């Protein structure tokens, strides 16, 4: 079985190369191999590879820059998934696509379910929501996995930033009024491999396609997340200037950004867990695993 993987050098894409390898021949590409902002480039790649499965973690993820580069974000996040979906549908292929908590406005009090109406509040979120809709229109054989606060040993992320700043500064201010669940890129990749394997195994029998929320268990805010990273680093014997108590909680209004962020990014994963009979570990487990991998390779 041929599997086409986009965004191979992203956080999730990097982990997917490992996770998908046992399932078939993986053709992994990145921006240099296929420009997802160009429809002709996508269609030519699909003609060459002829995959049975398309896994698409590639995305324009510069949230603040998307406010001024909305055309590029739209091309990659909104248009490309639809084109990939059309090509998948021609071939009877499965397509796995990733979306985000940013499709919601963050005003709900509880956890967001798949039935809640998306209301994105920034350009990035709007482009990702449009990509969901384009893919849904293009093919019924899709899995859209919404996740949040991705963290991995490969690529840039919040945990790595905190580790760098903790080695440089004695004090740090971090937003404490935005809530979500840091989710390991390795977890997302392993779940994806399980779903692809399940799809293979079922053959022509009905498969539960659709939209699913997939995040680690539990919840936290950015400030407590930062304190957790610092605490773990100190426990591992790392030399830091920053202590957990020196991470000061501030509000989003104290840290203005070009793109507004949802205050509530908590996603209800019960549909996913019930459908595929999988459990999702606590976010701390995934972050610890990422930190250990970083330190093992440092």
Q: What pLDDT is attached to residue 202?
A: 87
Listed by start position, the domains of the chain span: 2-157+181-218+266-282
Helices (H) and strands (E) in the chain, counts: 10, 12
Task: Give 205's pLDDT tier (boundaries 50, 70, 90).
Answer: confident
Q: What pLDDT is attached to residue 298?
A: 67
Of 102, 124, 212, 225, the catalytic one is 124
Q: Over the stretch 255-268, which tens digit does the pLDDT of each residue have?
A: 999 999 999 999 99
Q: Over the stretch 128-148, which tens digit does the pLDDT of each residue have?
A: 999 999 999 999 999 999 999
- Average pLDDT (166-185) is 98
Q: What pLDDT is attached to residue 297?
A: 78
- Whole-Å CA distances, 161 to 1, 24, 204, 229, 230: 38, 35, 46, 10, 11
DSSP 35-89: -TT-HHHHHHHHHHH--SEEEE------TTGGGT-HHHHIIIIIIHHHHHHHHHH
Q: 2-157+181-218+266-282, what's its fold?
A: Rossmann fold (3.40.50)
Tell me the sheet residues that pair with 173.
Answer: 248
Structure-token pair, residue 4: 């086409």
- Average pLDDT (242-258) is 97
pTM: 0.96
- Average pLDDT (26-46) is 96
Q: What pLDDT is attached to residue 112?
A: 98
Catalytic site residue 124? yes
Q: Can you tell me the distance from the alpha carbon of 73 to that of 69, in angstroms, rounded to the nearest whole number?
A: 6
């Amino acid at each position: 079985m041929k599997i086409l993987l986009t965004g191979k050098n992203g956080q999730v894409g990097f982990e997917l190369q490992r996770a998908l390898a046992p399932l078939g021949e993986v053709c992994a590409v990145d921006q240099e191999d296929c420009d997802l902002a160009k429809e002709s480039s996508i269609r030519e790649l699909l003609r060459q590879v002829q995959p049975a499965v398309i896994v698409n973690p590639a995305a324009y993820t510069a949230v603040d820059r998307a406010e001024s580069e909305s055309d590029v974000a739209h091309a990659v996040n909104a248009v490309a998934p639809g084109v990939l979906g059309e090509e998948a549908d021609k071939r009877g292929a499965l397509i796995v696509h990733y979306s985000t908590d940013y499709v919601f406005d963050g005003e709900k009090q509880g956890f967001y379910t798949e039935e809640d109406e998306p209301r994105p509040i920034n350009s990035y979120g709007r482009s990702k929501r449009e990509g969901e809709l384009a893919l849904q229109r293009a093919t019924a054989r899709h899995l859209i996995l919404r996740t949040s606060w991705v963290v991995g040993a490969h690529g840039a992320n919040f945990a790595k930033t905190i580790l760098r700043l903790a080695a440089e500064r004695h004090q740090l201010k971090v937003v404490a009024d935005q809530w979500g669940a840091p989710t390991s890129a390795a977890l997302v990749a392993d779940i994806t491999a399980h779903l692809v394997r399940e799809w293979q195994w079922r053959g022509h029998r009905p498969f539960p396609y659709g939209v699913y929320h997939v995040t680690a268990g539990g919840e936290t805010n950015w400030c407590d997340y930062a304190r957790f990273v610092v605490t773990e680093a100190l426990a591992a014997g790392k030399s830091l200037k920053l202590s957990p108590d020196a991470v000061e909680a501030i509000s989003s209004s104290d840290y203005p950004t070009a793109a507004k962020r949802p205050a509530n990014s908590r996603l209800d994963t019960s549909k996913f867990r019930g459908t595929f009979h999988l459990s999702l570990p606590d976010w701390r487990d995934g972050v610890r695993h990422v930190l250990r991998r970083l330190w093992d390779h440092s």
